[in-house]
A and B are shown apart, each in its own frame.
Chain A
Amino acid sequence: MGFPDRIERTVEIAHPPAKVWAALTTAEGLGTWFGNQASIDLRPGGEAEMKWDEGHKAQMRVERVEEPEIFGFTWNIYGLPDDDPRRTYVEFTLEPAGAGTRLTVVESGFSQLPDEAHRVAVDGNTKGWAAELGELIEYLDAA
């Protein structure tokens, strides 16, 4: 068994899907149970952001909006630099279960390999820094 590419959890909530949907897809909801503050443009391609009081934040891109069944977004892989192009995909699925909701969250994409573009970006950055430092030295030498 290797490392997980996907994480899956299911939770039963004693409220109908419409109410759970609002908690997942509104700034008020996300900023209450998930982050401490949130904003969301709820449409595929829309931007969303959550902020925590400790100072970190998560930038998301909304991917799927099928009210009140499926809400999907991508975000940066936790711990990787902000400019890293790799993202994981998070999808919430809401199913009616009696008077309540069965909510499933799947986060996938943890085992992507950095692609060539990524390598180029990283190497580009390294060279970029060397060049910046070179320019700084030239600037100081000239002064």
Chain B
Amino acid sequence: MPPDTEAIAEQVFVALADPSRRSILAVLASGGPATATDLADRLPITRQAIAKHLALLTDAGLVIPEQGERRRVRYRLHSAPMQVAQQFLAALARDWDGPLAALKDHLEGTS
């Protein structure tokens, strides 16, 4: 399998393992792009901690900094890495055992 797929997914899972980063991503997902100040107003996290988390999330490609109003940097959620991680979750969540057992029951039970 391509190594970068796993590296991307790992960064997503590392990012999501921290409750503060989950809440930052949740705010961006529900409310759209926001500045570090906006996030500090909305979350029980210090401005410094938010800046640190935003730097990590930017490195992971999960948020993209862009120029906002009055030259303030605002952060926008970038969904592509999430979709890579989601593929892995899909492999884990795919249930073939259930349907195959149902197929066996269907054929053998009705004979």
Where the two chains meet, the residues of A that have a C-beta atom closer than 8 Å to any C-beta of B are 2-5, 7, 9, 11, 13-15, 19-20, 23-24, 29, 32-34, 77-80, 84, 86, 88, 103, 105, 107, 110-114, 118-119, 122
Please indicate the chain B residues that have their CB under 8 angstroms from the CB of A103 in the complex.
100, 103
Asked, given contacts A34-B99, A111-B1, whether A79 binds B107 with beta carbons under 8 Å apart, the answer is no
> Are the C-beta atoms of B99 and A110 separated by less than 8 Å?
no
Asked, given contacts A34-B99, A113-B84, A114-B83, whether A2 binds B1 with beta carbons under 8 Å apart, the answer is yes
Please indicate the chain B residues that have their CB under 8 angstroms from the CB of A119 in the complex.
80
Given the complex of chains A and B, what is the CA–CA distance between A3 and B10 in angstroms? 10
CB distance from A128 to the nearest CB of B (A): 14
Where the two chains meet, the residues of B that have a C-beta atom closer than 8 Å to any C-beta of A are 1-2, 4-6, 8-9, 79-80, 83-84, 86-94, 96-97, 99-108, 111
Asked, given contacts A2-B1, A111-B1, A113-B4, whether A11 binds B103 with beta carbons under 8 Å apart, the answer is yes
Q: Which of A3, A24, A32, A33 contacts B88 (CB 8 A)?
A: A3
Q: Which of B8, B87, B89, B104 contacts A13 (CB 8 A)?
A: B104
> Are the C-beta atoms of B94 and A33 separated by less than 8 Å?
no
Given the complex of chains A and B, what is the CA–CA distance between A23 and B104 in angstroms? 10
Q: Which of A7, A29, A110 contacts B96 (CB 8 A)?
A: A7
> Are the C-beta atoms of A105 and B83 separated by less than 8 Å?
no
> Are the C-beta atoms of A15 and B88 separated by less than 8 Å?
no
CB distance from B94 to the nearest CB of A (A): 6
Please indicate the chain B residues that have their CB under 8 angstroms from the CB of A7 in the complex.
91, 94, 96
> Are the C-beta atoms of A33 and B106 separated by less than 8 Å?
yes
Please indicate the chain B residues that have their CB under 8 angstroms from the CB of A78 in the complex.
90, 93-94
